[in-house]
Amino acid sequence: MNNTNLNDSELVSLYKVGNEEAFEELVERHKSRVFTSIYLIVKDKYLAEDIMQETFIKAVNTIKRGKYNEEGKYLPWIMRIAHNLSVDHFRKSKRFPVVVMEDGSRVLNSLEFAEVPFETTQIQQELHSKIRDLVQQLPDSQKQVLIMRHYMGLSFHEIAENTDVSINTALGRMRYALINLRKQMKKYKIAYDQNFYPR
């Protein structure tokens, strides 16, 4: 059966009755969003991987124990778990700081990552690293909305609920975040050029 045409709710229903392929599709479908969101919060690839595992393990435990009751809202649910775990780790890391290199890897583990590159050229890596830096430099309220809307895929309504602000405030923060990023990208001459950076 081809699971790629099914929506998240249908996949969760199949997974509840033991269809592991449905879960595999859910993980594949959202791995990039979940991982990038976590990474932007904790700024450490290894820690982001650990938290991602933890996130999905919590999801497995909840669904397989029959405690999942977020019908139709799988993505916001898994993102909420990821966000909470990331913030928890971020708080702990302030007490036990880890030295992180510019590309987000830990100093002591850089050799291992060098053996498994992220399939991008050095120039692209530097560009992506710069864009991540610019995101990190945004005011917290703007960064939070940006991560929630762009990477977590939450609606402005859901963001407003999660952050206790009005939808207009959430929208305004997103607008400021994008405009601030654009200004900084211009300053650092980061321009969109599909020919230079083909996808």
Partner 1 sequence: MTKTFTQDDVVKYIYDSIPENEKLAFENAMICDAQLLDLFHELRSVKQQLNKIQENPRKHVIKNILDYSKSFNLHSVKK
Cα 118 to Cα 143: distance, rounded to the nearest angstrom: 24
- Interface with partner 1, residue 178, by CB under 8 A: yes
Q: Which is nearer to partner 1, 95 or 140 (CB)?
A: 140
Interface pattern 27-66 for partner 1 (x via CB under 8 A): xx--xxx-xx--x-----x--xx--xx--xx--xx--x--
Taking alpha carbons only, the member of 104, 129, 134, 125 closest to residue 38 is 104
- Interface with partner 1, residue 150, by CB under 8 A: yes
- How far is the CA of 188 from the CAs of 77, 110, 131, 184, 191, in angstroms? 36, 27, 10, 6, 9
- Interface with partner 1, residue 100, by CB under 8 A: no
**Alpha-helical regions (H) of 43-73:** 45-64
- Interface with partner 1, residue 96, by CB under 8 A: no
- Interface with partner 1, residue 128, by CB under 8 A: yes
Inter-residue contact 174 to 151 (CB < 8 Å):
no
- Interface with partner 1, residue 185, by CB under 8 A: yes
- Interface with partner 1, residue 165, by CB under 8 A: no
